[in-house]
Chain A
Amino acid sequence: MISKNIQLDEQGRLKHFLSIEGFKRQHLVSILDAAEPFANVHEQAVKKVPLLRGKTIVNLFFEGSTRTLTTFELAAKRLSADVLNININTSATSKGESLLDMLHNLEAMHCDMFIVRHSQSGAAHLIAQHVSPHISVINAGDGCHSHPSQAMLDMFTIRRHKKEFSDLTVVIVGDILHSRVARSQIHALNTLGVTEVRVVAPKTLIPTKIETLGVHVYHDMQTALVGADVIIMLRLQKERMQGALLPSENEYYHQYGLSEKKLRYAKLDAIVMHPGPINRGVEIASSIADGPQSVILEQVTNGIAIRMAVMSQTLGRSSGGNV
């Protein structure tokens, strides 16, 4: 568990954004509120605002990403910041330079923010502990632990469709075991006070003691979907799977894939979400991914606004910017 202190400064303002844990409801609502006006910036003829002019933001992606990297980069650019994307494969770390040495070099170039994605849980937290006080660190996904900006863009998307969190039943379907997105979503949904969070997956893809996070565990998808307002489908993370966790992709789709037939068990106005990238025909039918209840592409668009909000709040904390 990441302590609250490292993410907030002495005045209680957002300094780093590493994990949903440690934030209270008002912190999360403040980020959601801050994102609202940023969602309109793309309507301007000049699609940017000068808020972070003169700031330098470094994308440190030790793990592959298209959506997250691109939306972080776009968010920074729409705030008029300068962005560096470090290609880790060709950087000096591949020549044996340690991670912290590389960070100190980037600090010496007067950068203001590191956006970190890493396959090791806790990587962003480690970096946040070692950077100079003026630098903010944002976790863009660490191992199986946390992906807080993804969870917040999901909360933003849910709020735009459903208004009140307190009336909602949210079902998260799929590879909970390997999903940092699911962990962050569960923390965010419970902090925002939804009625019920359900997780549904085969036993092999549900971590032990997941109930302690405040969720109800289901293994039968149809039962889990009854009365659902929001359905979040997760990607089957083949690259993280070791051992025989699943019989076959076909069998998985039959049991846990979201088909038209299964969707009928949810509420008529239920929205279908997916953090992407989607495996069509593995966890979700194409007709649903492209259908009227899908908000999957809206999630991508909202990702830019949420990331703009988090960047502005962390870098605008000199004496204000309370969360």
Chain B
Amino acid sequence: MTITSAIAPLELNNPLALETLLNTMYQAIKTKVAHFKKDDVIMIGIHTGGFWIAEKLYEKLDITAPLGSLNISFYRDDFTKIGLHPEVKPSQLPRGLDDKHIILVDDVLFTGRTVRAALNEIFDYGRPASVTLAVLLDRGGRELPIYAEIIGQKVTLEPGWQIKLCGPEPLKLVQNKC
């Protein structure tokens, strides 16, 4: 079942709106991980926005493994088009992903290409038992068969607009024209 927040439309300038979305995610993740052994859960945030969200959620959740940070720059499918980002930070994943249940966190889910790259990278570190995708916003527009089980909120954007998370302190959602 896809878990989504009831609030709509998204109030970008209201800091409480972001709190509400995070709380929706928190509740859903808490319910999800209750089925797993505590030591088998690993949370990984996708650099940078996904990691900021993951930090907030990780603070409240009772997860023993350290929070992982995933930088998918080396796994992007558009490297030959856009080149290497000059400031790539290394991925920091907890050791031993084999047979673990991974909660993969990102800020905005759009085409699904970032998640495709993230999955490829995760599987180069090990073979997890499961991967659950949790995102703050799902803006539709998928180009790959990828879906998020946990969603803060679904949003619809006008063509040519994008939404991104700025941070880390304070976290703020910003909408602008591409």
Contacts and interface: CB of A to CB of B under 8 A. Distances in A.
A282 to B, nearest CB: 38
A296 B79 CA distance: 33
B125 A37 contact: no
A227 B82 CA distance: 45
A323 B85 CA distance: 10
A51 interface: yes
Interface stretch (A17-25, A101-109, A311-319): A311-319
A50 B80 CA distance: 11
A312 B84 contact: yes
A48 B124 CA distance: 8
A244 interface: no
Given A34-B86, A37-B91, A46-B124, A316 B79 contact: yes
A318 B84 contact: no
A319 B84 contact: no
Interface residues of B, number: 23
Interface residues of A, number: 26
B169 to A, nearest CB: 24
B147 interface: no
A49 interface: yes
Given A40-B91, A45-B124, A45-B126, A50 B83 contact: no
Interface of A: 13, 30, 33-34, 36-37, 39-41, 44-46, 48-51, 312-313, 316-323
Interface pairs A-B: 7 shortest CB-CB: A321-B83, A320-B83, A49-B74, A37-B90, A46-B124, A316-B83, A320-B82
17 contacts: A33-B87, A34-B84, A34-B86, A34-B88, A36-B88, A37-B71, A37-B73, A45-B124, A46-B125, A48-B124, A49-B124, A316-B83, A316-B84, A317-B83, A318-B83, A320-B81, A320-B85
